[in-house]
Amino acid sequence: MPRLVMKFGGTSVADLERIHNVAHKVQHEVDTGYQVVVVVSAMSGKTNELVGWVGEAAAGPDANAPGFYDAREYDAVVASGEQVTSGLLAIVLQEMGVQARSWLGWQVPVKTTSAHGAARILDIPSENLDAKFDEGMQVAVVAGFQGLSEEGRITTLGRGGSDTTAVAFAAALDAERCDIYTDVDGIYTTDPRITQKARKLHKIAYEEMLELASLGAKVLQTRSVELAMRYKVRLQVLSSFSDEPGTLVCDEEEIMEQNAVAGVAYVRDEAKMTLISVADRPGIAAAIFGPLAEAGVNVDMIIQNISEEGRTDMTFSCPVEQVPLARKAVEEAKAQGEINYHALESDTEVAKVSIVGIGMRSHAGIAQKMFKALSDDGINIKVITTSEIKVSVLVDRKYMELAVQSLHDAFELDKAS
Ligand code: ADP
Ligand code: ASP
Ligand code: MG
């Protein structure tokens, strides 16, 4: 029998009424003739609540910064939201006469690394599920976001990780498709919450979606797109609340025409940190960024400016909640004499805005057009980085929405190519 993976996010399973709605969609696919794996998230808001409780239980200085409590226990707590929804959906499906069973990460098992809070899936052996499907199970309701480490402990895959659970199951079980049901009816040129001009895309290339996701478009977790690209999973994003056709994530070759820029993404809560006047010598970057990496700080953009004779300023960006962690790592490196600097400045009021498009490879002048559009709206650019198919800038957070709208207009993303 052909197999299908369906994934439902937090808003789609937010209460029992919505779980019933999900069950009807699943039943429809069972009636069509599929063996179905349904991956569920926790009810919307639940994971945030659980993360908050962990922070409070570990209260102390900087208790909110990851790394200040035992990450194994963080996972034990935050994985619990998905246990509830997987059991509830299995019950509702059973009530409808569907042979359904819930599966937690450890029961499958979803084998992961031991990087608690950001574990990577290593393998999903399919024997246990195969055996149950052979015995007549029609639907496996899998708790998303969670797995099992080699040490036998519960792990989680990072926020938004249920998308990755879904794609990994689609690859492991050779599913015909992986359908990601969410609260928007597809992938748009930018977050439709930021501008009404955002346009739904029929198709988007894996590579573009990968960049958009890693630059903040949370409609899909980055790792899920990476896996879909590697294992050629047909990935579709569509709405739980309507029957509109969604967006297919596919190979570049399947897309006939496209704009130079496919979309605009943003990360609202970024911070910019600058070490003023560090010695400009071989090894200085390694001496600064080594301790930051060891502390688990996700450094993103980096710029180095020669200031005065033999001295340099080093600027980097990271998520705003990691500023205390970054400060601690840098200050400790200074105390140990590994680096020296005059001052450590942080600007916690910035956001990152990026444009992405495969077409940039063959179109000149895209970055210049971006800078002009921002300057026409009076938005100052604080840091710039580019790669083959993206340009990112840091701007003051208060201008983030305006920057997204201005770029969406400048590249006429509301119009199809
Ligand atoms: P779920 O709980 O279903 O996983 P998420 O909240 O993680 O849903 O992701 C869906 C949200 O992603 C949408 O509500 C939308 O605000 C946001 N989003 C950001 N960028 C985009 C985009 N380019 N296209 C569609 N949605 C986007
Ligand atoms: N519940 C988890 C989160 O909120 C995983 C997910 O929804 O994908 O991050
Ligand atoms: Mg999500």
Task: Give tens-digit pLDDT for 230-278.
Answer: 999 999 999 999 999 999 999 998 887 678 999 999 999 999 999 999 9
Final residue in a domain of this structure, among 131, 154, 183: 183
Percent of the chain with pLDDT over 90: 88
- Reading the block at residue 298, the tokens are 């996700």
Q: Is the CB–ligand 2 distance for residue 41 below 6 Å?
A: yes
Give the structural domain span for 107.
Answer: 3-183
Residue in 17, 13, 236, 20 with CA at minimum distance from that of residue 143? 13
User: CA 50, CA 41: separation in Å to the nearest integer?
Assistant: 13
Number of domains in the chain: 2
Q: Is the CB–ligand 2 distance for residue 247 below 6 Å?
A: no
Q: Which CATH number covers residue 7? A: 3.40.1160.10
Residue 94: φ, ψ to 5° = -60, -40
Mutate to test the pocket of ligand 2, among 47, 78, 237 (most ligand atoms within 8 A of CB): 47
Query: What pLDDT score was predicted for residue 60?
Result: 57
Domain membership flag for residue 188: no
User: Average pLDDT in the 43-67 region?
Assistant: 78
In this prediction, residue 310 has a pLDDT band, given cuts at 50, 70 and 90, of confident
- Helical (H) or strand (E) element with 170: helix 162-172
3-class secondary structure, 35: strand
Q: Which residues contact 108 (CB under 8 A, 6 or more apart)?
A: 124, 125, 128, 129, 142
pTM exceeds cut of 0.75:
yes
Q: For atom 6 of ligand 2, which residue has the closest CA?
A: 160
43-57, 101-115, 167-181: least confident range: 43-57
Statement to judge: residues 314 and 170 lie in one domain: no
Dump the DSSP string for 179-220.
EEEESSSS-BSS-TTT-TT--B-SEEEHHHHHHHHHTT-TTS
Final residue in a domain of this structure, among 160, 183, 206: 183
User: Average pLDDT in the 153-175 region?
Assistant: 98
Instruction: Reply yes or no on whether the pLDDT at 281 is more than 90.
Output: no
Residue 386, beta-bridge partner list: 391
Ligand 3 centroid to residue 224 C-alpha, Å: 10
Query: What pLDDT score was predicted for residue 386?
Result: 93
Statement to judge: residues 20 and 168 lie in one domain: yes
Statement to judge: residues 27 and 116 lie in one domain: yes
Residue 351, beta-bridge partner list: 395
Mutate to test the pocket of ligand 2, among 162, 180, 222, 224 (most ligand atoms within 8 A of CB): 162
Ligand nearest to the CA of 356: 1
Query: In Å, what is the CA distance from 354 to each residue of 249, 299, 408?
Result: 20, 16, 11
